[in-house]
A = this chain, B = another copy of it.
Amino acid sequence: MGSLNIENVKKAFGPVEVLKGINLEVTDGEFVVFVGPSGCGKSTLLRVIAGLEDSTSGRVVIDGADVSATPPAKRGIAMVFQTYALYPHLTVKNNMGLGLRQAGTPAAEIDRRIGIASSMLSLEPYLSRRPAELSGGQRQRVAIGRAVVREPKLFLFDEPLSNLDAALRVNTRLEIAQLHRRLKATMIYVTHDQVEAMTLADKIVVLNAGKIEQIGGPMELYNSPANEFVAGFIGSPKMNFVDGGRLGETAKTIGVRPEHLTVDAKSGAWKGTVVHAEHLGADTNVYLDCEKAGLITVRIFGVYNAEPGATLYATPDPAKTYRFGADGKVLK
Residues of A within 8 A of B (CB): 13, 35-39, 42-44, 82-83, 133-138, 141, 158-159, 162-170, 192-195, 198-199, 218-219, 222-223, 232-238, 257-259, 278-283, 299, 301-303
A82, A137, A164, A222 interface centre (most CB from chain B within 10 Å): A137
A-B contacts, 21 of them at CB < 8 A, read: A37-B165, A38-B136, A42-B135, A43-B136, A82-B136, A136-B158, A166-B192, A167-B233, A169-B192, A170-B238, A195-B278, A198-B280, A199-B280, A219-B279, A222-B281, A257-B281, A257-B282, A259-B282, A259-B283, A259-B301, A282-B299
The answer on a CB contact under 8 Å between A165 and B138 is no
Q: Is the interface of A mostly helix, strand, loop or mixed?
A: mixed
Instruction: Please indicate the chain B residues that have their CB under 8 angstroms from the CB of A237 in the complex.
Output: 170
- Sort A-B residue pairs by CB-CB distance and give the 9 closest, nearest first: A38-B137, A222-B281, A259-B282, A301-B301, A82-B136, A162-B162, A39-B135, A165-B192, A166-B236
Instruction: Please indicate the chain B residues that have their CB under 8 angstroms from the CB of A38 in the complex.
Output: 135-138, 141, 163-165, 168
Nearest chain B residue, comparing its CB with the CB of A302:
B259
Nearest chain B residue, comparing its CB with the CB of A236:
B166
Nearest chain B residue, comparing its CB with the CB of A190:
B136
The answer on a CB contact under 8 Å between A219 and B138 is no
Given A199-B280, A219-B279, A234-B281: A163 in contact with B136 (beta carbons within 8 A): no
